[in-house]
A and B are shown apart, each in its own frame.
Chain A
Amino acid sequence: MKTFRHFYNRLLEAIAAILIVAVTAIVTAGFVFRWSGHSLVWYDEVAAISLAWLTYYAGALAALRGAHIGFAGFVNSLPAQWRVAATLFSSAVTIFFFALLTWTGFEVVKILKGDTLVSIPEVSLQITQSVIPIASAMFVLAELLRLPDLLEEARRGPLVDHEIQEALEHGKIAAREHRK
C-alpha cells in the first residue's frame, strides 16, 4: 500500500510539475507573440483550459497531501472517537462528491462528441473536458490512499495544518542551506 501511495504521489507530482511549466510557457509565449505583433489566436482559450487541467490534476495531489482548505477547529476539540468519526464522515463526503463528478464528467464527455475548440478545430472538446472525470477519479483514489493515515492522525490527536507544515519544512531547509 505504502509503495503504491509513493508511486502515485510521484505520478501526480510529475503531472502537476508538467502542467505548471506548461501554463508558464503558454502565458509567456502569448506575451512574447503579442509584443512581436503576431498574437496567438489560440492563446486565451488554451491558457484558460490549461488552468483547469492544473486545478484538477494538482487538486488530486493536494488531496493526497491533505492540503485542501478546511476548518479543523471544531473537530479538533472533540474526543478521539468522535474525531475519528467526523474524519471518516468528511472523507466519505469528499469521495462521494468526486465519484459523482467522475460519473457526470463522463456523461458530459459523451455529449460533447463532435465538438471542438473554437481556436483549434483539430482539438476535440472531449479531450479538454476529460480532465473532470479522469482527475476526479484520481482524486477519489488519492483520498482513499490517504484515509488510513488520516484516521490514525485523528486517533492520535488534533489534525495538523499541512500548508503550515510544508511551508515550515521548506523554511527549515532554506535556513540550513543559509547556515552552510
Chain B
Amino acid sequence: MNGTIIFMLIGMAALVMVNVPIAVALGVVAVAAIWIAQGSHMLPNAALVMFEGATNFPLLAVPLFVFAGGIMNASSIARRLINLATAILGFIRGGLSMVTVGASMFFAEISGSAVADVAALGTLLIPAMKERGYSKEFAAAVTSSSASLAIIIPPSIPMILYAAMAQESAVKLFIAGIIPGVLGGLGLMALCYYYAWKYNFPVEQKFQLTRLGTALKEGAWALVMPIVILGGIFGGFVTATEGAALAVVVALFIALFIYRDIDMKSLYTACIDSAIQTAVVMLLVAASALVGVFLTESQLPQKLATAMVTLTSNPYMVLLLLNIFFLVLGMFLHSAAAIILTVPIVLPLIHQVGIDPIHFGLVLTLNLAIGQQTPPVASVLIASCSIAKSDIWATTRANLGFIGVLVGVLMLCSYVPWLSLVLIQMFYG
C-alpha cells in the first residue's frame, strides 16, 4: 500500500506540473491505483465514488453563497457600499485607501469570493485612487490585501470547504472569523493611515452628517443583507446552507424590487458564473473522495501524525510548522485545492496534539488568504494588478506592509486561540 501511495503522490505532482486540472490529476492517479491494486473489474467504483463525493450536503452552501454574491455584483450594491464607506472614512487623510478596506469588509459579508470582490470593488476604486495621486502599485496592493482578508470574514467559501472536509460546524468557523477579521481590517486601515501621512495622500471630503445620512439611506438595504444572513445563522434560526439560500432570496428581492437595477441578462450571467465556480470546487471535492479511499486504507494521515508527534507534540510548534507549510503551499496552490488536498492528511495530527479544529480552520484560512498575495499563484493579486495595470513584482513590494499586517494577525490567531474561540464560547457556552 505504501508503494501505491508514493506512486500516487509522484504521479499527481507530475500531472499538476504539466497543467492537468488538479481535479483530473487526483482522479487519474486514484483510478490508476484502483487498477493496479484491485484490478480493472473494480473501476466502476470510481464512478460511484465520484458521484457520492459530489453529494456532500453541507457544501450546498457553496453555490448559494456564490450565486448571492453574483447577484450583488450585478446590481449596484458595490457602488452603494463604496459611497457609504466614503461618507464614513473620506474625511481622514488617505481615506480612499481606507474606504477600500472598509468596503471590502462589508462586501466580504456578502460575496465570499476574493477574486470577485477585487473585480467588483477594484474596477471602481483603483482608477479613483490613481486619479487622486496614489501610485498604481499601492492601489493594487491595498485592494488585493483587503479582498484576501475578506475570506476570513463570514460567509467564507474556504471556511465552508474546511468545515465539510473536517466535519466541523461551518457556523462555528464563521463565528471564529469575526474578531480576527475585524482586527485585520483595523490593522490594514492603520497602515493606510501611516502611508497617507508618509506619501501625503489627500483627504477626500469633509465629514458631513447629511452626506452620511444620504449614503446610509441609499445603502441601507445593502447593510440589511449581512444582518439578515448572519443574524439568521448566528441566531440559530437557519443552518449555514439555509442561510445561503436566504442570501440568494434577499439579494434577488433587493436587486429586483428595491434597487431595480438588475436585468434578466445580468441575472442569467450570474447564474452561469455561480454554476461554473461551484463545479470547479465540487469536482475537486468529488475527485478527492476517490483519493480519500486510499488515504483511509493506507492510514497515511495517522502514520504521518505519529511520525510528526515523535518530533514534537507541542501544539505551538506544530502550528508553527504548519504555518510555514501552508504559507509555502499557498504560493503555488489555489486555496480550494489546498484545503481539499491537505485537510484530510493533517487533521489526525491536529487532533493528536490537542489543537481545536475550529481554531486550526481559521489559521488555515488565514494562511491561504496570505497565499493569495504571494506569486506565482496569487489569483487575487493578479486580478488587482490587471485592473491597476501594474507590475506584479513591483506591486508585491508595495504590498509587503499589508502582507506584514496579515502575517501579524495570523501569528496572533495562531498563538492566542482565545481570539478565535471566545465568541464561540459566548454563543455556545
Across the interface, name the chain B residue whose C-beta is closest to A100. B31
Q: Within 8 Å CB of A172, what residues of B?
A: 123
A93 at the interface (CB under 8 A from B): yes
Contact of B245 with A24 in the complex, beta carbons under 8 Å: yes
Give CA–CA (A117, B344) in the complex, Å.
Answer: 30
Contact of B376 with A175 in the complex, beta carbons under 8 Å: no
Least CB distance from B68 to A in Å reads 9
Query: Mask for A48-66, Cβ within 8 A of B = 1, else 0?
Result: 1101101111110110010
Give CA–CA (A61, B280) in the complex, Å.
Answer: 10
A74 at the interface (CB under 8 A from B): yes
Give CA–CA (A42, B195) in the complex, Å.
Answer: 57
Query: Mask for A117-136, Cβ within 8 A of B = 1, else 0?
Result: 00000000000010111000
B185 at the interface (CB under 8 A from A): no
Least CB distance from A97 to B in Å reads 5
List which A68-109 residues lie within 8 A (CB) of chain B.
68-75, 86-87, 89-90, 93-94, 96-98, 100-101, 104-105, 107-108
Of the listed stretches B207-215, B329-337, B351-359, name the one at the interface; the rest are far from the partner chain: B329-337
A159 at the interface (CB under 8 A from B): yes
Interface size on A, residues (CB 8 A): 70
Contact of B48 with A108 in the complex, beta carbons under 8 Å: yes
Contact of A167 with B60 in the complex, beta carbons under 8 Å: no
A144 at the interface (CB under 8 A from B): no
Interface centre among B248, B274, B275, B278 (most CB of A within 10 A): B275
Least CB distance from A55 to B in Å reads 4
Least CB distance from B372 to A in Å reads 12
Contact of A73 with B276 in the complex, beta carbons under 8 Å: no
> Secondary structure of the B side of the interface?
helix
> Secondary structure of the A side of the interface?
helix
Give CA–CA (A8, B274) in the complex, Å.
Answer: 19
Contact of A75 with B19 in the complex, beta carbons under 8 Å: yes
Least CB distance from A19 to B in Å reads 6
Q: Within 8 Å CB of A100, what residues of B?
A: 31, 43, 46
Least CB distance from B30 to A in Å reads 10
Contact of A94 with B122 in the complex, beta carbons under 8 Å: no
A23 at the interface (CB under 8 A from B): yes
Contact of B275 with A94 in the complex, beta carbons under 8 Å: no
Contact of B16 with A71 in the complex, beta carbons under 8 Å: yes
Across the interface, name the chain A residue whose C-beta is closest to B77. A174
B286 at the interface (CB under 8 A from A): yes
Q: Within 8 Å CB of A52, what residues of B?
A: 51, 54-55, 286
Give CA–CA (A52, B18) in the complex, Å.
Answer: 28
List which B271-319 residues lie within 8 A (CB) of chain A.
271-276, 278-280, 282-284, 286
If A31-B238, A62-B279 touch, whether A167 touches B19 (CB-CB below 8 Å) is no
If A20-B274, A31-B245 touch, whether A54 touches B18 (CB-CB below 8 Å) is no
List the 5 closest A-B pairs by CB distance, nearest first: A171-B119, A16-B275, A58-B279, A171-B123, A68-B21
